Amino acid sequence: MPAATGPNPMQPNFHRLSLLACALLASNVLAMSPIINNTNVPEPAPWKEDTSPQVAPAFSREHLLPLDMPVHLSIKAGIDPDTITVGKDNVVRYVVVISNPGGGVMASFEGIRCDTHEVKTYARQSDEGAWRPVAEPVWVDLSANMPSHHALVFARQGACTDNLAGSPSEIKDAMKFGRKTPYDLRVN
Q: What is the pLDDT of residue 67?
A: 93
Q: Would residue 51 count as lying in a domain?
A: no
State the DSSP code for 31. H
Residue 183's pLDDT is what? 44
The per-residue pLDDT for range 52-98, each reduced to its tens digit, is: 676 788 899 999 999 998 888 888 999 999 999 999 999 999 999 99
Instruction: Give mean pLDDT, residues 30-49.
Output: 65
SS3 of 83-113: HCEECCCCEEEEEEEEECCCCCEEEEEEEEE
Write out the E strands in the chain. 65-66, 76-79, 85-86, 91-99, 105-113, 118-125, 131-133, 140-141, 160-161, 164-165
The reply to whether 5 falls in a domain is no
In this prediction, residue 176 carries a pLDDT of: 87
Would residue 162 count as lying in a domain?
A: yes
Q: When comparing pLDDT for 129 and 53, which is higher?
A: 129
Encode pLDDT of 139-186 as tens digits: 999 988 676 789 999 999 999 988 888 889 999 998 888 754 444 444
Higher pLDDT, 38 or 75: 75
Residue 53 lies in a domain: no
Beta strands 76-79 and 65-66 are: antiparallel
Would 34 be classed as within a structural domain?
Answer: no
Is the pLDDT at 22 greater than 80? The verdict is no
Whether 99 is covered by a domain: the verdict is: yes
Q: How many domains does the chain have?
A: 1
Residue 106 lies in a domain: yes
- Whether residue 19 is predicted with pLDDT greater than 60 in this model: the reply is no
Q: Which domain holds residue 152?
A: 65-177
Whether 143 is in a domain gets the answer yes
- Find the CATH number of the domain harbouring 122: 2.40.128
Distance CA 172, CA 60 (A): 15
pTM of the model: 0.70
Q: Residue 95 in contact with residue 60, Cβ under 8 Å?
A: no
Q: What is the rounded (10 degree) CA torsion for 121, 126, 130, 135?
A: -30
